[in-house]
């Protein structure tokens, strides 16, 4: 039951097109990214992107580091293999 709940929560976090695009960009990125990296390329406002990034953080898919006034995001390095496989399937 725990696996199904976790899988459902992960799929829900990845379900929205904006979050899926953000997650895919972070998945393929060599470096961390900040909200400003997404606002320009996705034609979305900063509050909207921040809200979507918050959902990815809540799902445990991304981690962040604050440097001055900027917050940089990246894929969590300690994701379980099953989570990595699920995300890879969803992103394609």
22 phi and psi, to 5 degrees? -65, -45
Q: Whole-angstrom Cα distance, residue 65 to residue 35?
A: 12
pLDDT in tens, 4-54: 657 777 778 877 888 888 888 888 887 888 988 888 888 889 999 999 899
pTM of the model: 0.79
Contacts of 62 (CB under 8 A, 6+ apart): 23, 26, 53, 56, 73, 74, 75, 76
| Amino acid 65: pLDDT | 93
């Amino acid at each position: 039951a725990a696996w199904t709940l976790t899988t459902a929560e992960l799929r829900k976090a990845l379900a929205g097109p904006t979050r899926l695009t953000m997650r895919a960009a972070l998945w393929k990125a060599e470096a961390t990214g900040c909200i400003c990296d997404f606002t320009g390329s996705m034609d979305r406002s900063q509050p909207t992107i921040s809200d979507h990034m918050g959902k990815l953080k809540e799902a445990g898919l991304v981690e962040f580091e604050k440097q001055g006034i900027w917050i940089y995001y990246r894929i969590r390095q300690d994701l379980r293999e099953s989570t990595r496989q699920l995300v890879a399937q969803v992103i394609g």
